[in-house]
Amino acid sequence: MQSPVAQMAKLDYAVNAVLFLSYVATGKGDKVGLMTFADDVMQFVSPRQGRGQFYRMLELLYAVQAQPVEPDYQRALSYLAIKQRKRALVVMFTDLSGGLSTQTLVGQVSMLARHSLPLIVTISDPDVHAAAQQRPHNMLTVYQRATAQQLLDERQLALDSLRRQGVLTLDVPANQLSMAVINRYLELKGRMLL
């Protein structure tokens, strides 16, 4: 979540979306909670109602920083399973970096889907999309295009795998993240899935 999109880290976009979502959800009378993690759980705030909860989350998120490590999805979601026993919408902002961590995410979130309603939110990178669409003019651009397309293909496979496991996904550009998350929350609430 450290990588930048349009001069701002993906984590900052995620923090803005989380705060916007928590503000709207508390306004609708829903309980909201928060967990931050990297290779270990860093912060956990039990779900509560009210604007005070929003301000607790605001204070906590103000200090959160991206960590240069692979996320430990198994540890984080095992911790969440102990702390959150009731059915809930679990919105996880993450960066599908591929490899073993993505496979672990798919396995762990599919287990979470048995008892809750998980929504995996990822931020698409316009630079990767542009690199995959560029016309190859030399060996460097051929390599860039092939690498970008491979990244997009791996990402799509992971998202498709999550969907097959009953996990909701949202993959949007950074500048649309907050509104897309709010709209999905309101849609799920309107369909009485929460």
Quick: pLDDT tens for 45-69: 999 999 899 999 999 998 888 888 8
Q: What are the residues facing 170 on neighbouring strands?
A: 121
User: What was the pLDDT predicted at 121?
Assistant: 95
User: What was the pLDDT predicted at 95?
Assistant: 81
**In this predicted model, what pLDDT tens digit does every residue of 132-159 receive, in sequence order?**
899 888 998 899 999 989 988 988 888 8
SS (H, E, C) 117-148: EEEEEEEECHHHHHHHHCCCCCHHHHHHHHHH
Q: Could you tell me the pLDDT band of residue 177, with boundaries at 50, 70 and 90?
A: very high
User: What was the pLDDT predicted at 22?
Assistant: 95
Above pLDDT 90, what percent of the chain?
Answer: 46
CA count, 13 A, side-chain hemisphere, 31: 11
- Whose tokens are 């970096």? That residue is 97
- Whose tokens are 């005070």? That residue is 52
Going by C-beta distance under 8 Å and a sequence separation of 6 or more, which residues neighbour residue 10?
1, 2, 3, 4, 66, 95, 123, 174
Above pLDDT 70, what percent of the chain?
Answer: 96
User: What was the pLDDT predicted at 57?
Assistant: 93
**In this predicted model, what pLDDT tens digit does every residue of 22-50 receive, in sequence order?**
999 999 999 999 999 999 999 999 999 99
User: What was the pLDDT predicted at 4?
Assistant: 64
pTM: 0.87
User: Crossing angle for the helix pair 126-133 and 139-164, nearest 10 degrees?
Assistant: 120
Lowest mean pLDDT across 52-56, 93-97, 127-131, 157-161: 93-97
